[in-house]
Amino acid sequence: MNVLVLNCGSSSLKYRIIKMPVETDIVNGEAQRVGIKSADTSFITHTVKGQNSTLNIDLPTHVDAFKKVLQLIFENHKNDEDIYFDCIAHRYVNSGEHFSGASRIFPEDLEKLQETFDITPLHGPIIYEVIKFCSEEYRDIPQYILADNGFHSNIPAKYSTYALPLDLIKKHHIKRMGYHGISHQYVMQEACNFLDQDAQTLKIISCHLGTGGSSVCAIQFGKSVNSSMGFTPLEGLMMNTRSGDIDAGMIFNIMYNNGLNASEAENILNKKSGVLSIFKESSDLRDALKGRDKNPNAEMALEMYVRRIKKYIGNYMIQLKKADVLIFTDTLGIGMPAIRNAICKGMEYFGIRIDKHLNKNYQCGILDVSMADSEVKILIVPNNEELMIAREVFKKMSSSKEAKNILS
C-alpha cells in the first residue's frame, strides 16, 4: 500500500509517497518559502527513487504548491508503475474535540475542521484548503488526518492550566495543547535508538526549529511534560511571523489606541510579527543570518530568536532537574550551525557544551555534537513526521473494515 503524506507548515509543504509497511520512499520532496515575503524565490526540492531535482518557482499558496508537486510526480513519471497512492494522510495541527488519533476525513467533515481555525489561524486554513482540494480532486481516495498535539496530552495539569476563571476554562476546553508533537515524538525515539537507551530512562529537551513554527518540548521518560506552545501555536518562541510570548495587556493597549478589532490584532500577532517584524526584509531567519553585516535589524532578530529558546531550555532544565539530552531538529535546527552554537553558548551552567568543529561540519543523519566533557548529550536529529504519520495511518487502516480492499 502506498500512502501520500502531506505535511503543511506555515511556509512549507513536505510530501512523500511511502510504501507501507516496508517504509520505502517512492517519492519525497519539499516546497519551501510558500506564500511568504522572502529575499529568495520559493522552490521545490523533489526526489523520485533517488533522482534529485530542484525547481525555482513562485508558490503563492499551499494549494498552488501541491498542484505543482502533482505535476512533478505524475507528468514527469507517467510510465512508472510504482508511483501511485492508495490514500492521503495529512498532518493536522489541532483537530479539536471532533477527532483523535489517525482519523478518516469525509467531505461532510470539512465543516468540522473549519471550527478549529480559531485555535490554529495560521495552519488550520492552509491545511484545510489542501484537504478540500484533495477531496474534490480525488473523491475515491480515502483521506486521513493525524493531530499534531496528541503527544502532549499527558502534560500535567500544573503545567497545562492557565490562570483564568475556571468556568471559561471548562466552557472553551482551554489548556496548554502543545504542538509539533509528531516531530518531538519521532526525534525522541530516534535519539533513544541512537544512544541505545530506553525512553523510560531519559529526560530530553527537544528543539523543533522550523522556518515557520518553532517550539521547545520537555520530555520525561517517554512523555511530553511541557511545551513552549500553548492553547494555540502562537505562544512560546519568536517565529517567522508569530510574535511568541508577549504582554497581553500591550495588545489591548494597541487595539484601543488604533481602533483594531480582535481579527486585526490576531493577524498582526500571527502574520506580521516575529522575525519579519524586526528584520523587515524577510521572515526567514536564514536571510537574517546572511544579512546581519549590512542590516543591524538582522542581528537583533537573531539575538531575540536565540534568547527566547535559551529561556525555555533553562526553564525545562529546572523542571526536569537537568536533562540528559538536548535535541535540535527541523529546517533551522538541522541547517543552521550558527544558531545551534549561539543557543548553546553560555549554557555550561546546565552542563551543555557543544563541539564547535563537529557542529560546524555537520552534514546529514543523526550526530552527537557535544564535547567529551558535556554532561548533556547534544544531538542533531532530522525529523521524519511523514513516516510517523504513515505508520499511524497504516495502523488505522489495517484495523478498518473499509480499507481491506486496499490492503489486500
Task: Examine residue 228 and state whether it is found in any structural domain, yes or no.
Answer: yes
Residues 135 and 264 occupy one common structural domain: no
130 shares its domain with 239? no
In a domain, 173, yes or no: no
Which residues are designated catalytic? 148
Question: In terms of Cα–Cα distance, which of 230, 235, 188 is closest to 207?
Answer: 188
Residues 111-134 have pLDDT tens digits of 888 887 877 777 788 999 999 999
Give how many domains the chain has, as a whole number.
2
Residues 371 and 242 reside in one and the same domain = yes
All cell numbers assigned to 316: 525545562
Could you report the per-residue pLDDT of 73-112, keeping only the tens digit for each? 887 776 777 889 999 999 988 876 667 778 899 888 888 8
pLDDT value for 94 = 81
Residues 206, 244 share a domain:
yes
For the stretch 230-278, pLDDT in tens is: 998 899 999 999 999 999 999 999 999 999 999 999 999 999 999 999 9
| Strand partners for 14 | 7, 30
Between 198 and 94, whose confidence is greater? 198
Q: What is the average pLDDT across 220-234?
A: 95
Is 326 a member of any domain?
yes
CATH of the domain at 121: 3.30.420.40
The grid cell for 270 is 500571527
CB atoms within 10 A of CB 153: 15
**Predicted local distance difference test score (pLDDT) of residue 404:** 52
137 shares a domain with 256: no
Strands 377-380 and 51-56, sheet pairing: unpaired
Within this chain, do residues 98 and 232 fall inside the same structural domain, yes or no? no
Do both 112 and 237 map to the same domain? no
For the entire predicted model, the pTM comes to 0.83
Specify if 170 maps to a domain.
no
Are 216 and 350 in a shared domain? yes
pLDDT number for residue 10: 78
Residues 254 and 336 in one domain: yes
Domain of residue 73: give its range. 2-151+388-407
The answer as to whether 172 is a domain residue is no
171 domain-assigned: no
Range of weakest confidence among 11-25, 38-52, 58-72, 314-328: 38-52
Comparing CA positions, the residue from 42, 47, 43, 44 lying closest to residue 16 is 47
Write the DSSP assignment of 156-215 as a string of letters.
Answer: -HHHH--SS-HHHHHHHT-S-----HHHHHHHHHHHHHHHT--GGG-EEEEEEE-SS-EE
* E-assigned strand segments in 93-178: 102-105, 143-147
φ, ψ of residue 4 to 5 degrees: the values are: -90, 115
Question: 401 and 359 share a domain?
Answer: no
